[in-house]
Amino acid sequence: MNTLELRPLEPAHAGTMLRWMLDPEVAENLGLRSAPTLARTLDWIAKGNVDARAIFHAGQHIGNVVLDCFDTHLQTARLSIYIGEPSARGKGLAAGALRMALERAFADHHLYRIWLTVHERNAPAVALYTRLGFRQEGVLRGDFLLRGERVNAILMSMLRSEFEAASPP
């Protein structure tokens, strides 16, 4: 039985999200530019200009996966994912959620390419993306601030054809 699911992100999830964003590990890897508040979190959810999904495992909200920066002409979008619940990290749940999100994104949004950026010091995320079939396209030099230090960001992407070739029939 698969206890991992993606649900639409709702205002009821804002309190949990705020708690995660107040965790320095999450905040640093997300590259937050301002202090998170409940009001800002609720506002972001209400705007609805993204395809945001709450990741649930065994009935508990453990993280989020988001598609944004849609370009309907080029059929591209940016993906981001994080496991906010500390007890759920390092258990392979992000990989399962990411596979589900990619399947949904390519099918429902008819995308050709999904891209992301990740700072070069986030080795677990880089390894996960690579293992799932994302390819490095380039390095954005000094494009991320990590604890006040400029570090490189890695630009990665996956094409629909690559996802379909790697997915079981």
Rounded to whole angstroms, the Cα distance separating 100 from 53 reads: 11
* Exposure of 67 in the CB half-sphere (CA atoms within 13 A): 24
**Residue 148, CA distances (Å) to 28, 31, 33, 98, 143 in order:** 10, 11, 11, 29, 12
pLDDT along the chain (169 residues), means of 10: 86 93 85 86 84 94 95 96 92 94 94 97 94 96 92 97 82
- In whole angstroms, what separates CA 3 from the centre of its chain? 19
Q: What is the pLDDT of residue 133?
A: 95
pLDDT value for 139: 97
Total domains, the chain: 1
Q: Do the Cβ atoms of 51 and 109 come closer than 8 Å?
A: yes
pLDDT given at position 1? 45
Q: Give the residue numbers spanning the domain of 124.
A: 4-166
The phi and psi torsions of 104 (rounded to 5 degrees) equal: -65, -45
What is the CATH number for 27?
3.40.630.30
- Residue 2 has a pLDDT of 65
